[in-house]
Amino acid sequence: MSYVHHTILLLDDNLDDSRFTRLALQRVGVIAPVQAVGRVEDAKQYLCAEGCYADGENYPPPDLVMLDMMHCSSGLEFLSWLRSHPALRRIPVVVLSSCSEIAEINRAYEHGCNSYLVKPPSFNTLLVMMQTLTQYWLGMNQIPERSTGFRS
């Protein structure tokens, strides 16, 4: 499936993980635009169409956010920020983390994630994960209407 009419925002501060995730998405046939950023501030600018992300043609609003938890609770802070904005809170967020600790998983759900996936140890398993993730979130799941004021 291509999901060409959908956009994914990938927020991961680990360049290797980000690269592997994008490669896995390509390998399973996803040609939807994947906008990858490595810093919370860049993700916020992207979502608010500010700075270098102001061009909606090149940086369309995402239909899905894939979020690494990152260090120093940055992922949780971003998730709280996203859920506190009425124009952004409906965007589905899938957490991709290397942490499988139940306390971290609970915190992510408490801050508003829609799904929590542990990054797999092998690329082949990542391929299966990305295939399943995109089939569900971009294929089967009904994406909500964008809130009023989104990127206005």
pLDDT tens digits for range 99-120: 999 999 999 999 999 999 999 9
Provide the residue ranges of all domains of the chain, joining segments of one domain with +: 8-140
Burial of 108 (0-12, 13-18, 19+ CB in 10 A): buried
pLDDT tens digits for range 9-50: 999 999 999 999 999 999 999 988 999 999 999 999 999 999
Find the helix packing angle between 123-134 and 15-27, rounded to 10°.
60
Global pTM value: 0.92
pLDDT tens digits for range 56-81: 889 999 999 999 998 767 999 999 99
| Rounded-to-integer distance, Cα 39 and Cα 35, Å | 12
Contact by Cβ (8 Å): 36, 63: no
As assigned by CATH, the class of the 8-140 domain is alpha beta
